[in-house]
């Protein structure tokens, strides 16, 4: 998901805009890893969590959790309007979300290990890769992720709750963050275009899915692949007929969880298959990854991919 709207009900509007290559000096990478993965805000939050005053008194939230944030949480607070009053209200109204996230947070050490391996793999696949820092913190249960020029920010409690994306908590964190990390590399993902076509949006998202799979072992949104299995030709013929329509308002992108049995963001799956077709027919695999990430002309990429509706991949 990009500067645009990744799963609009969960992710921030400004996802991945012009992220630089270096991690911030205040959050150095661990053990020589290329990327800083900061989770200390989660530890601080749950150290306070059992105090009833946290939910009943915004001043306690302000002085005990939000007053000493990491740089990443400080950015997240501004971007997603995380205030003491709003966080205290979320703790009162959505207590089960935060209770569940406490168990989910136990997976963070393994998530970190796997993300370090995934970003190391990205460096092998794409030597020009950038490595913005990742902060995983506690928000107000409305936004699973957002980004700005300083890094990627994940709301632990919201992404923990997003089991419709992928059931396993650890896998979901690794694969979704890997998808987001690919967007940090893509030129097309750095430009917001509210008039973008279905094709453009699907290829940006599908490219991220394909490269994320190469990095982490799976796409970020496997439920789409499960749902579409056996219907490839029917679905992709429909996509081809609607590829030049506006993405916003279409049935292919940015439609949350979908409706009437049609899943949200099915364009991710079609874009993935187009990227996979391009990769499969390109002898130089390093050059193929570079072209997939650095794509600037979606129509030309489609023509060069060799993809046809329903083809076996």
pLDDT of residue 260: 85
DSSP H helices, the chain, are 40-48, 53-56, 58-61, 71-79, 84-93, 95-104, 108-125, 156-161, 169-183, 198-216, 222-228, 232-242, 267-281, 285-293, 298-305
CA 200, 159, 81, 79 torsion: positive or negative? negative
Instruction: Report, in angstroms and rounded to the nearest whole number, the Rg of the chain calculated over CA atoms.
Output: 19
Distance CA 192, CA 15 (A): 10
Distance CA 93, CA 96 (A): 9
Model-wide pTM > 0.85: yes
- CA-nearest of 308, 134, 294 to 207 is 294
Q: What is the DSSP letter of 29?
A: P
**Residue 308's CB: how many other CB atoms inside 10 A?**
11
pLDDT of residue 191: 86
pLDDT of residue 234: 98
Which residue matches tokens 């998901």?
Answer: 1
Which residue matches tokens 């998202």?
Answer: 205
Task: Give mean pLDDT in consecutive 10-residue pieces for the chain, a chain of 313 residues.
Answer: 41 43 42 86 95 91 94 94 94 96 97 96 96 95 83 95 94 95 91 93 97 97 96 98 97 90 95 98 98 98 98 96
pLDDT of residue 66: 94
**Residue 142's CB: how many other CB atoms inside 10 A?**
17
pLDDT of residue 4: 38
């Amino acid at each position: 998901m990009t500067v645009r709207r990744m799963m609009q009900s969960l992710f921030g509007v400004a996802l991945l805009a012009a992220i630089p290559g270096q991690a911030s000096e205040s959050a150095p990478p661990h053990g020589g890893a290329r990327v800083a993965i900061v989770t200390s805000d989660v530890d601080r939050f749950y150290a306070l969590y059992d105090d009833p005053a946290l939910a009943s008194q915004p001043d306690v939230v302000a002085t005990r959790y939000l007053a000493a944030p990491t740089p990443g949480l400080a950015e997240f607070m501004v971007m997603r309007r995380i205030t003491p009053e709003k966080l205290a209200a979320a703790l009162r109204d959505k207590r089960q979300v935060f209770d569940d996230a406490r168990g989910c947070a136990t997976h963070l050490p393994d998530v970190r290990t796997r993300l370090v391996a995934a970003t190391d793999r990205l460096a092998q696949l794409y030597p020009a890769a950038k490595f913005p820092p990742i902060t995983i913190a506690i928000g107000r249960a409305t936004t699973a992720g957002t980004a700005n020029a300083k890094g990627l920010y994940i709301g632990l409690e919201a992404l923990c709750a997003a089991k419709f994306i992928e059931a396993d908590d650890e896998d979901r964190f690794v694969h979704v963050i890997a998808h987001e990390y690919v967007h940090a590399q893509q030129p097309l993902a750095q430009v917001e275009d509210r008039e973008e076509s279905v094709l453009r949006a699907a290829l940006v998202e599908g490219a991220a899915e394909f490269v994320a799979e190469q990095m982490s072992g799976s796409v970020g949104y496997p439920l789409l692949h499960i749902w579409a299995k056996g219907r490839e030709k029917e679905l992709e013929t429909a996509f081809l007929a609607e590829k030049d329509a506006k993405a916003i308002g279409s049935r292919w992108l940015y439609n949350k969880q979908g409706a009437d049995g049609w899943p949200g963001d099915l364009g991710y799956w079609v874009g993935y298959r187009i990227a996979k077709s391009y990769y499969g027919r390109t002898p130089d695999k390093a050059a193929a990854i570079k072209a997939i990430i650095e794509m600037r002309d979606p129509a030309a990429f489609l023509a060069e991919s060799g993809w046809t509706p329903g083809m076996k991949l």
